Amino acid sequence: MLGKKLLTLFCIAGVALCGACGLIFREPPPPPPPMQLFAGMRTVRVEVGNKTRTRHLDPVALQEAIIRELNSSRKRTPLRAVAAGNADCVLTLQVEDEREAQLNSQLFRAERESDIAWWEYYADFSEQLTSRGGRVLWTQEPWTACHGESAEAMKKKRVAGDWNNAEFRQAFFSQRYYSDLASQFVQNLLSK
């Protein structure tokens, strides 16, 4: 008799934990509705250009980062991004203008006599989505992205770095920068 009571209690506890409350075995939520902007489209070709004179931002690195970001967002959208070939639509991102600045400040002078240099980079982008036939489906007003880095030189030594130095630009425009910019771009795009 005690065995039957324990078995009944065990079964009631199992049903309560696993089925009745619905916390453990819950159906997955329905997939999000398709984005209106990309309705009926499965593939998008990503093109990135830089028509500025300075050409600090590498369009190939940004294109690769956007494609990676779009393809990793497949849970939110069925789109598959490609770099070349036929696609249902073409997403064009163009760097319209680039500006850079170096700011020096004498912060923490009383404590350590250090100089801090801050480099800032601004890029103005335009975006457009066109169908395979060339019809413009969407255009984004130009927007600006900013990126900044700081470096410190102790005891009034000059801070290394120069915009004309390829090694400096390579360190400034790291892979992380392109990934962050692509993430921001894709987040904005998928919210349309």
Q: Spell out the domain ranges in the chain.
A: 33-190
pLDDT per position as a tens digit, 89-124: 999 999 999 988 776 555 444 445 556 667 788 999
Greater confidence, 68 or 29? 68
From residue 39, give the alpha-carbon distance in Å to each of 33, 43, 136, 156, 177.
Answer: 10, 11, 14, 58, 30
- Of the candidate CATH numbers 3.40.50.300, 3.20.20.70, 3.30.160.150, 3.40.50.10480, the domain formed by 33-190 belongs to 3.30.160.150
Query: What span, in angstroms and rounded, lies between the C-alpha atoms of 116 and 131?
Result: 48
Confidence at residue 107, expressed as pLDDT on a 0 to 100 scale: 45
In the DSSP assignment, the letter for residue 41 is: -
Looking at residue 66, what is its pLDDT?
A: 95
Residue 2 has a pLDDT of 59
User: Would you call 182 helix, strand, or coil by DSSP?
Assistant: helix
The pLDDT confidence band at residue 81, using thresholds 50, 70 and 90, is very high
pLDDT, position 88: 94
pLDDT at 167 over 90: no
Copy the structure tokens of residue 27.
Answer: 């159906």
- Mean pLDDT over each residue of the chain, to the nearest integer: 76
- Written as one string, the DSSP assignment of 50-117 is E-SSS--S-HHHHHHHHHHHHHHTTTT---EEESSS--SEEEEEEEEEEEEEEEEE-TTHHHH-EEEE
Query: Any idea what DSSP says for residue 177?
Result: H
Per-residue pLDDT tens over the stretch 6-64:
556 555 655 555 554 444 445 555 544 445 677 788 999 999 999 999 888 899 999 99
Residues facing residue 127 across a β-bridge: 93, 140
User: What's the pLDDT at 46?
Assistant: 97
Task: Assign 147 a pLDDT band (cuts: 50, 70, 90).
Answer: confident
166 confidence band (pLDDT: 50, 70, 90): confident
Place of tokens 């028509």: 51
pLDDT grade for 65, boundaries at 50, 70 and 90:
very high
Q: Is the pTM of this model over 0.75?
A: no
